[in-house]
Amino acid sequence: MSNLISIKSATLSEDIAQQLMNAIVQGEIPQGSKISEPELAKQYGISRGPLREAIVKLEGLGLVTRTANVGARVIQLNTQDMLDTFSTREALEGMATRLAAANMKADEINSLYALLDKHQAYLDDNQDERYLQQGGNDDFHLRIIHASGNAKLIRLLTEELYAIIRMYRRHTSDQRSDPRQALREHRAILDAIANHEGDLAELLMRRHISRASSLLQQAMEKMTLASS
């Protein structure tokens, strides 16, 4: 029962939107399933008003699809949509990396190098390898995104795309990506940023994301083959 966690936001609608988003990304509400307003309202102990506003918001984030007089359904993950999402991410995050290369100051860059060193330590000691594959990987990307200083890019990437990307990762129960290879690519990207080589930094980031997309694609196609 994840609905016991009350994050206490300013408005009920925001709370519910956040909780619904988590529930969908974590797979607690299975993909493709219908969103029943009376049921959820009773479950969360609220009325349908703020719940509907939350659903409208989730539709804007692309997590659910709505049809008039019928209702909302959680999106159905599939390979084509995943490829589309990663192409979009490649374009946006490539641009973010280019801007970061132009904007980042020395101390920010050093701080990022320190983060990568920490990742290296995790790999060498292979203590908690799960940290790297999940939060740690995203840390690097998120900090570059924010370093771009472009509010539109930040919003689209962190609010619109990353929720869905996390869904895909969780859905494929985290693929057999090579963390050491990823770390090497991160280092190369950061080196380009440190040298303020925007063109190169963008190119490397795009390749990095493109590779991750290919790996995910293979994992997904293996899954659909296994289940058919």
Partner DNA sequence: CATCACAAAATTGTCGACACATTCGATAAA
Partner DNA sequence: TTTATCGAATGTGTCGACAATTTTGTGATG
The three-class DSSP label of residue 66 is strand
Which residues pair with residue 214 across a beta bridge?
A: none
Identify the CA nearest to 162 among candidates 146, 147, 180, 178. 146
Interface segment toward DNA; rule CB under 7 A; list 30-38, 141-149, 203-211, 217-225: 30-38
Nearer to a copy of itself among residue 2 and residue 67 (C-beta): 67
Nearer to a copy of itself among residue 41 and residue 153 (C-beta): 153
Supply the minimum distance, in Å, between the C-beta of residue 9 and DNA: 8
Dihedral angle at the C-alpha atoms of 118, 198, 206, 77, nearest 10 degrees? 80
Angle at the Cα of 14 from the Cα atoms of 9 and 19, rounded to 5 degrees:
90
Supply the minimum distance, in Å, between the C-beta of residue 53 and a copy of itself: 5
Alpha helices in the chain (DSSP H): 12-25, 37-44, 48-60, 79-103, 106-125, 129-131, 137-147, 151-155, 162-171, 179-194, 198-226
Question: Taking CB under 7 A as the rule, does residue 33 contact DNA?
Answer: no
Interface segment toward DNA; rule CB under 7 A; list 46-54, 115-123, 153-161, 204-212: 46-54
Place of tokens 């490649």: 90
Nearer to DNA among residue 37 and residue 138 (C-beta): 37
Nearer to DNA among residue 30 and residue 38 (C-beta): 38
Contact flags string 99-128 toward a copy of itself, x per CB under 8 A: x-----------------------------
Residue 101 contacts residue 196 (beta carbons within 8 Å): yes
- Binding-site ranges for DNA (CB under 7 A): 11-13, 34-39, 46-50, 52-53, 66, 68-72
